[in-house]
Structure 1
């Protein structure tokens, strides 16, 4: 389909993606095949290029099953000047989740140069937003403010297949118009060079995946560590205590939030009422300091073991009011930590158990709290039998919670990994 952009004819080509190095469409497909994929939610790309030009004006990435539409827009040298991440959160409407803008003040700067002026915008439908300005690119200083993009520009209508002009003329993306649709030319000589099989060059954003929970709790599994010279071997899983959950409502949170109700919308996972072991996994390593050799051990994850059945899948636990469709590459939801401590607790008794935990902690101990070795503590509510078990974490921040399920969908385990130490690991065994 041909479009007019400032009196320049622009054609739409379809395929798996755009290869910037080869300046070609990756695995071209027909318009009919693209329309079929669009209706089925399968991924495809739209390359919009001026007639007889090998560089595109823009590339659209569409993956409706993932609720995603991405936009790349290019300058006359083929350098990216805008990148937008749009999410179909409502029927007929796209939300502008993320926007990145580049300005190349020097003609010889390459595409996405670290020296290029840059602006980033992060948006959430609830109004939370941030804007980063990098006048000298990633290599210089930055300034972070609230977004100055009017809220009526946070949403766009979902374009009808083939009617891409509404996206390309949107003021959010700095494009010029108007575009006018005209009939597609049949002159194959005017088409951009098309490439053979190759990488897509894009994929829908993928949130963080569970960090090897099966391998971490499989004794004998081997990992490399970024800051260790020798591979590490996972040691036998250690049961540190057990926890009673008489209501089956498991909360995972920072216990210091509980007494004052700071954890108003706790992350809650439903399990069958019962008593479950709390286990940890880790590995020992040899170190040296000031010429002295020593042996130390790191804990990588803590889990509540609900069932001995084989875990068929792992999913991220999502706090109330959060939408996984808003997560970008590698992002996750979790529970906030300000005390380098997390806990498993029966949700219905969390406030009282939190008060008793903090009272004992600030007064130096007491009968309410039963400490175990290596920083684990347990508090029991005598009236209900509900319990809280706390565990140490590597620091403050946000920690994801991973829920294992068997092939029937029943919970098998709940895992909290130390996001600092586990981030340094790479598995050596499949």
Structure 2
């Protein structure tokens, strides 16, 4: 097959996904920003809607190239490491077995090594310079023309990262229509949170290494839960800790210093990661190295009590006069959830809200045609 043109599209890394198109496509402008920031992304090279190659940009200047067979399955994997500043060295070239050759273990290696007849390096591509990888198509039986035209067929820029629409509605009691049917929002008092250091931490209490931090005045502040009650269950839809008795002027995504919203795709967000089914508000000093938060204490005083269906929150006291911890169940369990900080016009923190995404946002309703939330 002579290849004289290729369609170029972009998306997230594919992982174990197999298919003819990106499972999570992104605009070329977003991929370019991720390239400049050293972040991973994937480039799909197709001909007549048939995938021929996928290029993955990995951290630290590494690249991976997959070549596809006639059934749109990954048939060969080639890994590259940086060689100086302007070249890539081919370090691994692996033929991948097809699933019908080996049962359920698709993707296992059947042979590997670099052919001595091939030049084991190529130029390191600038963004968009995918001609670098065109000669490798010959390893899958294709014949690139002397000139191969690249056509950008990536998706258009959308509305960008998840927007903070409808945050107040998360904590307004009353009936709701949800993707799962009729429901009722009820508010529950989860107690008072004591902050002594001037820094609030939002984190999974079982994994404290990288909390989201918000600067607030020292003091004691009320924690409120939004409970979504359906005919089948009661789940925590959102949690709020309030610092000022005034409506927020604006809502901001709660970011770490190294996070750039410009690197997020349509509806994406930076959030709090959850691996224990639990989120906590606490003083940031407790998120460093606190013997009160060892596994045994957490199991007995936090995770076990929250395992009961009628218990949505729990307080873990600190030493006398010291900061405490208020933990609560994370929506429907593990995942990543957006954390929003409501601020005054002058920039003071009014409240912090964790949205467990049980309600579709206005943005999600627009992009999904009213069918409910789209994946983060």
Same fold by TM-score, threshold 0.5 exceeded?
A: yes
Whether 1:256 aligns to 2:206 is: yes
In the alignment, which residue of structure 2 is the partner of 1:102?
45
Residue 251 of structure 1: CA displacement? 0.7
Provide, for residues 380-413 of structure 1, a one-character-per-residue CA deviation record: whole Å limited to 9, x for no partner: 2225521111111122233321111122221111
Residue 339 of structure 1: CA displacement? 0.9
In the alignment, which residue of structure 1 is the partner of 2:275?
338
CA distance, structure 2, for counterparts of residue 402 and residue 144 of structure 1:
44
Q: CA RMSD in A?
A: 4.8
Residue 254 of structure 1: CA displacement? 1.1
Residue 280 of structure 1: CA displacement? 0.8
CA distance, structure 2, for counterparts of residue 392 and residue 351 of structure 1:
22
CA contact (8 A) 1:131 1:144 kept: no
Q: Residues 89, 284 of structure 1: CA spacing in aligned structure 2 closer, same or farther, 3 A cutoff? A: closer
Matches within 5 A, 1:116-265: 116-117=51-52, 119=54, 121-123=56-58, 127=60, 133=66, 135=68, 148=80, 150=82, 152=85, 171=131, 202-203=156-157, 206-210=160-164, 212-220=166-174, 222-223=176-177, 225-228=178-181, 231-235=182-186, 237-258=187-208, 263=209, 265=210
CA contact (8 A) 2:201 2:282 kept: yes
CA contact (8 A) 1:255 1:354 kept: no
Residue 176 of structure 1: CA displacement? 8.0
CA contact (8 A) 2:306 2:329 kept: no
Select the structure of larger CA radius of gyration: 1
CA distance, structure 2, for counterparts of residue 279 and residue 132 of structure 1:
49
Residue 130 of structure 1: CA displacement? 8.1
Per the alignment, in what secondary structure is the counterpart of residue 234 of structure 1?
strand
In the alignment, which residue of structure 2 is the partner of 1:391?
328
Q: Which TM-score applies when normalising by structure 2? A: 0.60
CA contact (8 A) 1:85 1:96 kept: no
In the alignment, which residue of structure 2 is the partner of 1:186?
none
Residue 119 of structure 1: CA displacement? 2.1
Q: Residues 226, 347 of structure 1: CA spacing in aligned structure 2 closer, same or farther, 3 A cutoff? A: same
Per the alignment, in what secondary structure is the counterpart of residue 206 of structure 2?
helix
Residue 226 of structure 1: CA displacement? 2.1
Q: Residues 313, 344 of structure 1: CA spacing in aligned structure 2 closer, same or farther, 3 A cutoff? A: same
In the alignment, which residue of structure 2 is the partner of 1:188?
none
227, 230, 239: which one aligns with 1:285: 230
Per the alignment, in what secondary structure is the counterpart of residue 374 of structure 1?
coil
> Structure 2: 5+ residue runs without aligned partners?
10-24, 88-125, 135-144, 150-154, 371-376
Q: Which TM-score applies when normalising by structure 1? A: 0.54
User: Number of matched residues?
Assistant: 291
Q: Residues 370, 334 of structure 1: CA spacing in aligned structure 2 closer, same or farther, 3 A cutoff? A: closer
